[in-house]
Amino acid sequence: MAFLVSGTLRMAAQMADAQESLERKGKYNVQGPRVALTLSSPEVSASAVAILEGVFQTLGFESCWRRKASVQDFLEELTGFREQLDAHRAPMGCVLVALVAPSGQLRQPQKLIQELSGCEALRGCPKVFLLLSSAPGAAPKPGAFLTGLGELCGRCPHWSLLQLLTEVFCRTAEESSGTTYCPVLRSSLRGALCLGDVEPWGPEPEPSPSAQYDLSRDRAALFLAVTQDRPGAQHDVEALGSLCQALGFKTTLRTDPTAQGFQEELAQFQECLNRCRSPVSCALVALMAHGDLQGQLLGADGQAVQPEALVQELSHCQALRGCPKIFLLQACRGGHRDAGLGPTALSWFWRWLRAPSVIPSHADVLQIYADAQGSSSRGFTPGSCDQADILVVYAAAEGCVAYRDEKGSDFIQTLVEVLRAAPGGDLLELLTEVNRQVCELDVLGPDCDERRKACLEICSSLRRRLCLQA
Q: Annotate 325-390 with DSSP letters as a single string.
A: EEEEEES--SSB-B--B--SS-HHHHHHHT--S-B-TT-SEEEEEEESSSS--TTTSTT---BSSE
pLDDT tens digit sequence for 263-279: 999 999 999 999 988 88
Q: What pLDDT does 54 receive?
A: 80
Closest by CA position to 464, among listed 145, 124, 209, 246: 209
Closest by CA position to 95, among listed 380, 364, 435: 364
Q: What pLDDT does 9 receive?
A: 45
Q: What is the mean pLDDT of residues 277-287?
A: 93
Residue ranges covered by each domain of the chain: 9-187, 215-341+387-460
Cα radius of gyration rounded to whole Å, the chain: 22
Q: What is the mean pLDDT of residues 215-234?
A: 96
Q: What is the mean pLDDT of residues 92-120?
A: 87
- Lowest average pLDDT, out of 105-119, 231-245, 267-281, 396-410, goes to 105-119
Q: What is the mean pLDDT of residues 130-152?
A: 71
Q: What pLDDT does 350 receive?
A: 47
Q: Annotate 375-410 with DSSP letters as a single string.
A: S--TTTSTT---BSSEEEEESS-TTBPPPEETTEEH
- pLDDT category, 399, cuts 50, 70, 90? very high
Q: What pLDDT does 205 receive?
A: 54
- pLDDT category, 49, cuts 50, 70, 90? confident
Q: What is the mean pLDDT of residues 139-153?
A: 70
* CATH fold for domain 9-187: Rossmann fold (3.40.50)
- Per CATH, the number for 215-341+387-460 is 3.40.50.1460
> Is residue 377 predicted with pLDDT exceeding 70?
no
Q: What pLDDT does 178 receive?
A: 65
Closest by CA position to 59, among listed 169, 164, 184, 188: 164
The segment with the largest mean pLDDT, out of 12-26, 56-70, 253-267, is 253-267
> Is residue 180 predicted with pLDDT exceeding 90?
no
CA-CA-CA-CA torsion sign (51, 52, 55, 57)? negative
> Is residue 379 predicted with pLDDT exceeding 70?
no
Q: What pLDDT does 86 receive?
A: 87
Q: What pLDDT does 31 receive?
A: 82
Q: What pLDDT does 6 receive?
A: 44
Distance (Å, rounded) from C-alpha 399 to C-alpha 397? 6
Query: Do the first three CATH levels of 9-187 and 215-341+387-460 match, i.e. the same topology?
Result: yes
- Lowest average pLDDT, out of 53-57, 128-132, 283-287, 326-330, goes to 53-57
Please, what is the average pLDDT of the chain?
A: 83
- pLDDT category, 447, cuts 50, 70, 90? low
Q: What pLDDT does 453 receive?
A: 93
- pLDDT category, 3, cuts 50, 70, 90? very low
Give percent of the chain with pLDDT exceeding 70.
Answer: 81
Asked whether 460 and 185 are in contact (CB, 8 A), the reply is: yes
Catalytic residue positions, numbered? 290, 332
> Is residue 383 predicted with pLDDT exceeding 50?
no
Which tops the pLDDT comparison, 456 or 66?
Answer: 456
Cα distances (Å, whole numbers) of residue 228 to 290, 335, 451? 10, 20, 26
Q: What pLDDT does 165 receive?
A: 92
Give the predicted TM-score (pTM) of the model. 0.89
Which tops the pLDDT comparison, 60 or 452?
Answer: 452
Cα distances (Å, whole numbers) of residue 50 to 39, 98, 220? 12, 12, 47
